[in-house]
Copies of this chain bind each other. A is one copy, B any other.
Amino acid sequence: MRGFFIGRFQPYHLGHHEVIKNIIHEVDELIIGIGSAQESHTLENPFTAGERVLMIVRALEELNIDKRIYVIPLEDIYRNSLWVSHVCSMVPPFDIVYTNNPLVYRLFKEAGFKVKSTKMYNRKEYQGTEIRRKMLEGGDWERYVPKAVAEVIKEIDGISRIKEIAAKDV
Contacts and interface: CB of A to CB of B under 8 A. Distances in A.
B120 A80 contact: no
A72 B57 CA distance: 12
Nearest to A81: B89
Chain A interface mostly: mixed
A63 interface: no
Given A57-B68, A107-B41, A49 B89 contact: yes
Interface in A144-170: 156, 161, 164-170
Give the number of times this chain occurs in the complex, counting copies: 6
A19 B39 CA distance: 31
Given A103-B165, A106-B164, A89 B170 contact: no
Nearest to A160: B106
Interface of A: 37-42, 48-51, 53-54, 57, 68, 70-73, 75, 77-82, 84-86, 88-93, 99-103, 105-107, 110, 117, 120, 123, 156, 161, 164-170
Contacts of A103: 41-42, 165
